[in-house]
Amino acid sequence: MEHLGRQFAIAMAKAQNPDADFWAVRSAVNGYYIGSRVDRDPAVETLLAASIRPDDIVRAANSSDQLRQLEQRFAGWIQRHSTSTIVGLDQYEPDYSEGSTQAFDSFYFRHRHRRFRCFVGEYFYHLKTWISNKADWNFVTESDPLLPGDALVLSVPFCDTVAPVENYDRIMSICDAQNIPVLLDLCYWPICHDLHIDLRYTCIDTVAFSLSKAWPVGTARIGMRYTRPGTFDGQRLHHSIGYNNNVGAMIGNVLLDNFKPDWIHTSRQSKYKTVCDVFNLQPTNSVNFGIGDASWNRYNRRELLKSYQLDFDPALFVNRICVNRVYQHWDLFRTFCRHELSIKI
């Protein structure tokens, strides 16, 4: 039922910019429901504004104490999720990452002589980077399975469907057996629920987390990378000499002080059910996404592929609908449901 989603998107855009005319509104809504980062969250923004003083920024910019603190506490914090479990994170060492992206880049560089692999639907950044750098890569398919000499990137939950990875244990066992290093992208972990992952497979080289999916701090680039003891690449060097984004780490520490890793899930789960019902979306393991049927054609991956300058058929991917904006306009959503659909929320 894309038309209801579209109708509400138009209402959100008009509410956000009441002076916008039809064309401005229409142009804005084409980007709604696409992407994954939180756009705005006034409560979090107020908290950050109240928690961080100008002096703190000056101090943080000349120190690495916030980095140390975040690196020490992140693993304990992320494992306090009420419905998801991680086993084996203690086998890895943390270092701050400029979002999960820096961890990806570091992985690519350390394994640049291998053939990069991912499943269809994986995060487009990998494809963009591999293609633009003429790296050897290919999707994992039945006709082109994982082989020795490969390096695998895998998101958990899987980026396309925001669901647990089917055959995760089998895939890891294959990688173990074939000595294939694996990067696990867990950047959706803080926005998900009911996920369980075992990190004890020896093939796992890197585990990456991000805070920008649950909190509106995307451009602060707050991520955490976990690698095996003994890994000493450029990113780890910066960790060892404290030459990293201490201001970003400070923001990260404020978030960890004030929120649990399942905050998004616990605070939005009842709203999420309503959103999925109204828009006829199939629920996922994240309250930020639902899966739309074929009618959500205008919110398929076409626009995202275009922005990444990637030439793939949008039909390869599911219509993953990001509903973050709906939460940001919850009062309007209630009014919309009452007036347009005669549904009282």
Chain positions contacting other proteins, by CB under 8 A:
3, 6-7, 10-11, 13-15, 18, 21-22, 25-26, 298, 332, 335-336, 339-340
Q: Are 99 and 222 in contact (CB under 8 A)?
A: yes
Nearest to other proteins of 43, 294 (CB atom):
294
Q: What is the pairing mode between strands 204-210 and 222-227?
A: antiparallel
Report, in Å, the least distance between residue 40 CB and other proteins. 19
Of 289, 284, 222, 287, whose CA–CA distance to 256 is shortest? 222
Percentage helix, strand, coil, to 5, in the chain?
50, 15, 35
Nearest to other proteins of 20, 131 (CB atom):
20
Report, in Å, the least distance between residue 21 CB and other proteins. 8
Cα–Cα distance for residue pair 190/261, rounded to 1 Å: 5
Nearest to other proteins of 11, 249 (CB atom):
11
Cα distances from 125 to residues 108, 209, 288, in angstroms, run 12, 15, 20
117 φ, ψ (degrees, to nearest 5): -135, 145
Nearest to other proteins of 22, 313 (CB atom):
22
Report, in Å, the least distance between residue 269 CB and other proteins. 26
Nearest to other proteins of 22, 43 (CB atom):
22
Q: 303 by DSSP, 3-state: which?
A: helix
Report, in Å, the least distance between residue 12 CB and other proteins. 8
What residues are paired with 87 via a beta bridge? 198
Tokens of 116: 């990069």
Report, in Å, the least distance between residue 302 CB and other proteins. 14
Nearest to other proteins of 10, 131 (CB atom):
10
Tokens of 73: 């506490």
Q: Are 318 and 304 in contact (CB under 8 A)?
A: no
**Positive or negative torsion for Cα 321, 326, 332, 335:** positive
Nearest to other proteins of 198, 340 (CB atom):
340
Report, in Å, the least distance between residue 19 CB and other proteins. 9
Mention every residue, 6+ apart, whose C-beta is less than 8 A from residue 269: 193, 287
Report, in Å, the least distance between residue 29 CB and other proteins. 8
